[in-house]
């Protein structure tokens, strides 16, 4: 069993809003030396963030590290986070949330690009020869916190204690991994010519909010297929279930590339997956998010973010020697049995999990 002292302090999941962010997704090379390098690197991350951030103390530099389901098995073995599984695809044809390769996620944030760049350089230099970068996006904060499509992004984000409530695993949910989070990422490319050809009123109906002043449309006029309607979730008691988004615009105007990097944190992947099902499959099926007529997901990955102390302790884990080993980790006969995880839900032909809503899911209390 992992001691509580190793699982309390979260990584910088709900850090300050910054002007810039780097997103790096990499795969771990298939050899024992590479796996050992990545494990040892886990103990260096916090030190590198402090060293680089010290140069500009007011720069709000932070880094969040996450591991995919396959990576966790290869690097750390048992025990494993209870709800960590491969990215679940939703939808079909051209409207599909696809899964793409990725073992390791780095989410680097700072007010200045040079801080992001320097930290990314230092982190990746220490992983040289052990990982292969499969996707790298440099995001920027757009005018008035707006996405590339012109609407304010992240308006309903939880803040303060509420942010921790919705993003950090509690002691009674998965005790071995308290203080951790789940994070889902997708890279979207937008058809800006098609989007800009729409009237503002048509755009507002697709998003479910006004474009200029960012006010949610009245329920009487907001379409059931709007982005806002399909991504608003409630539990059995009618309380809204939130996730923490830190989406960033990116692009290359000279190449006609305009996109949004979606990143959502939660204490369970279920709410984010439900949002994706509602968007790509529809609620009910066929009543899909019309924003997807102009936006295409080209990557997708689900990762577990261990607490800060646990991330550092993972450096000493070696599944080939002792699957439960970590500094200060105590084991007993009761703890040595194989950790039970939920089997992945069987997908329907359209990619739906056929769960319809979050009723019956673990309560966010």
Q: DSSP of 136-164, one letter per residue?
A: EEEEEPPGGGB-TTSSB--TT---HHHHH
Burial call 50-71: b when 16+ CB within 10 Å, e when fewer: eebbeeeeebbbbbbbbbbbbb
- Residue 23 contacts residue 137 (beta carbons within 8 Å): yes
DSSP conformation class of 267: S
**Is the sign of the CA dihedral 352, 365, 175, 63 positive or negative?**
positive
- Residue 78 contacts residue 324 (beta carbons within 8 Å): yes
Given 103, 153, 246, 289, which residue is catalytic? 153
Residue 289 annotated as catalytic: no
Angstrom distance (rounded) from CA 298 to CA 257: 13
- Residue 10 contacts residue 181 (beta carbons within 8 Å): yes
Angstrom distance (rounded) from CA 263 to CA 61: 18
Q: Which contiguous run of DSSP H or E holds residue 40? A: helix 32-41
Cα-based distances in Å from 242 to 162, 202, 208, 232, 277: 9, 26, 17, 8, 16
Residues assigned a catalytic role:
153
């Amino acid at each position: 069993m992992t001691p509580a002292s190793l699982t309390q302090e979260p990584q910088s999941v709900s850090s300050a809003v910054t002007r810039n962010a780097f997103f790096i997704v990499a795969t771990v090379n298939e050899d024992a030396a590479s796996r050992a390098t990545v494990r040892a690197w886990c103990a260096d991350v916090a030190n590198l963030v402090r060293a680089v951030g010290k140069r500009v103390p007011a720069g709000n530099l932070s880094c969040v590290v996450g591991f995919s389901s396959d990576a966790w098995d290869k690097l750390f073995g048992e025990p494993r986070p209870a709800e960590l599984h491969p990215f679940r695809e939703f939808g079909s044809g051209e409207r599909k949330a696809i899964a793409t390769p990725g073992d390791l996620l780095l989410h680097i944030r700072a007010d200045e690009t040079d801080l992001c760049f320097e930290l990314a350089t230092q982190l990746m230099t220490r992983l040289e020869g052990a990982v292969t970068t499969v996707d790298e996006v440099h995001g920027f904060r757009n005018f008035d916190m707006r996405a590339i499509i012109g609407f304010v992004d992240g308006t309903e984000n939880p803040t303060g204690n509420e942010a921790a409530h919705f993003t950090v695993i509690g002691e009674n949910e998965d005790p071995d991994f308290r203080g951790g989070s789940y994070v889902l990422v997708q890279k979207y490319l937008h058809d800006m010519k098609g989007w800009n050809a729409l009237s503002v009123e048509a755009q507002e109906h697709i998003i479910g909010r006004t474009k200029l002043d960012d006010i949610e449309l009245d329920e009487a006029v907001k379409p059931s297929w709007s982005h806002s309607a399909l991504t608003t979730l409630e539990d059995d008691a009618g309380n809204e279930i939130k996730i923490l988004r830190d989406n960033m615009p990116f692009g290359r105007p000279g190449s006609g590339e305009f996109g949004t990097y979606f990143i959502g944190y939660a204490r369970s992947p279920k709410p984010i997956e439900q949002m994706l099902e509602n968007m790509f499959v529809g609620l009910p099926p066929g009543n899909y998010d019309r924003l997807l007529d102009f936006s295409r997901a080209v990557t997708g990955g689900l990762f577990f973010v261990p607490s800060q102390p646990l991330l550092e302790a993972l450096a000493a884990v070696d599944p080939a020697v002792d699957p439960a080993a970590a500094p200060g980790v105590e084991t007993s006969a009761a703890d040595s049995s194989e950790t039970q995880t939920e089997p992945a839900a069987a997908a329907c032909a359209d990619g739906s999990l056929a769960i319809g809503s979050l009723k019956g899911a673990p309560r966010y209390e």
